[in-house]
Amino acid sequence: MKMFRKLLLAAAIFGFTAGPAHAGDAIVMDGSTTVGPIAKSFAAYFTKNYGVQVTVSESGSGNGAKSLINGACDIANMSRGMKDAEVAAAKSKGVDPVSHVVALDGIAVVLHPSNFVSALTVDQIRDIYTGKVTNWNKVGGPSAKIVVIQRESNSGTQDSFRSLVVGKKNPITKRAETQASNGAVKSRVASTPAAIGFIGLGFVDNSVKAISVNGVKPSIDTVKDGSYPVARPLFMVTNGQPTGNVKKLIELNRTADGKQMISELGYVNKY
């Protein structure tokens, strides 16, 4: 009995340090706060139905990639694609990153509910974030100085928002405030009448107002049919093609239960 427990402990430690997990070992996930809710419900489901321990850390897409490269996790959750530099770093450490689309997500542009602006174009949002427009009255709103809120630099949502709306070449205004998570952006926008921010579609609730972009309201349907312009795939990245439990976990999004979990969380199914 004692021997068996020791073996189990050794296996657990080995699984932790030696990267890709084998059947029966714990699965470690790290990365995006946007993919986090999906990963956590997948983890709970997986533990309940297969008896496999799954741990989920939410430290941002950049940290997820870093963990995968350093062999500290089995699955990196990312709300953006791997950057060239990250792929190169992975290759140099003998890690072969393979990305799997787990779901689709719209990035909702959110305002305080009291703001009567309810639609903006991509160009207007870009002008607000680059600092060209600084007052709500320039875009059909009340006369108030716009409080621009962005995410910190290791956020995948920030990265996607920059490439989908602002443009990689255009620097975001220095006046923009920076918050550390979807939840923090939401709570700042919900409490600041003149604020504008952006959060994953799954985080939108009554405390903030998600506006139409280019005339299209963000919703599961408009993200799925591609008409909502600020949408992106969410990834789970593994080292090499996944096998065993890791494969089963990633492919949960093709099962009926998995699809239900994804849509209940406010994300959009790919399959």
Partner 1 sequence: MGGSSAFVVSAKKRRMQQIMKMTGESLLFLVASFVAVVVLFIFYFVARDAIPFFQLRGFAEFFTSTNWYPADEPGEFGALAIIYGSGMVTLGSALIAVPLGIAAAICLSDVLPFNIRQYAKPVIEMLAAIPSVAYGFFALVIFAPLLQNFGGTILMWTWWVIAGPFLVLAVVVLGDMVTAGEPDEAKRDRKRLLMNGFFSVLALGLLYWVGNTLNAIQIMSGTNALNVSIILSFMALPTIVSVSEDALQAVGRELREGSYALGATRAETLVQTVLPAASSGILAAVILGIMRALGETMVVWMASGNSSQIPDPWFNYLDSIRTLTATIAGDMGEADQVTGSARYHVLFAMGLLLLIFSFVSNFISERVVVRQRKILSGQ
Which one among 7, 9, 13, 180 touches partner 1, defined by CB under 8 A? 180
Does residue 91 touch partner 1 according to CB under 8 A? no
Does residue 53 touch partner 1 according to CB under 8 A? no
Residue 27's alpha-carbon distances to 57, 100, 165, 243, in angstroms, are: 11, 16, 35, 12
CB of 57 to partner 1, least distance (A): 11
Does residue 193 touch partner 1 according to CB under 8 A? yes
Alpha carbons 145 and 163: distance in angstroms, whole number: 25
Which one among 47, 53, 59, 212 touches partner 1, defined by CB under 8 A? 59
User: Rule CB under 8 A: which of 136-175 touch partner 1?
Assistant: 144-145, 147, 152-154, 159, 168, 171, 174-175
Cβ 203 vs Cβ 157: under 8 Å: no
CB-nearer residue toward partner 1: 51 or 92: 92
Which one among 163, 191, 207, 255 touches partner 1, defined by CB under 8 A? 191
Does residue 99 touch partner 1 according to CB under 8 A? no
CB of 211 to partner 1, least distance (A): 19
Alpha carbons 111 and 108: distance in angstroms, whole number: 10
Number of residues in contact with partner 1, rule: CB under 8 A?
37
Structure tokens at 91: 């290759």
The pattern of x and - marking residues 205 through 244 that bind partner 1 according to CB under 8 A reads ----------------------------------------
Q: Which of 147, 154, 152, 161 is nearest to 199 (CA)?
A: 161
CB of 179 to partner 1, least distance (A): 8
Alpha carbons 211 and 46: distance in angstroms, whole number: 36
CB of 155 to partner 1, least distance (A): 9
Rg (CA), the chain: 20
CB of 167 to partner 1, least distance (A): 12
Residue 179's alpha-carbon distances to 75, 187, 235, in angstroms, are: 25, 10, 23
CB of 99 to partner 1, least distance (A): 17
CB of 195 to partner 1, least distance (A): 7
CB-nearer residue toward partner 1: 32 or 253: 32
User: For residue 97, which phi and psi values (nearest 5 degrees)?
Assistant: -70, 125
User: Rule CB under 8 A: which of 1-20 touch partner 1?
Assistant: none
Does residue 177 touch partner 1 according to CB under 8 A? yes
Name the site residues for partner 1 (rule: CB under 8 A): 59-60, 62-63, 65-66, 69, 83, 85-86, 89, 92-93, 144-145, 147, 152-154, 159, 168, 171, 174-180, 184, 187-188, 191-195
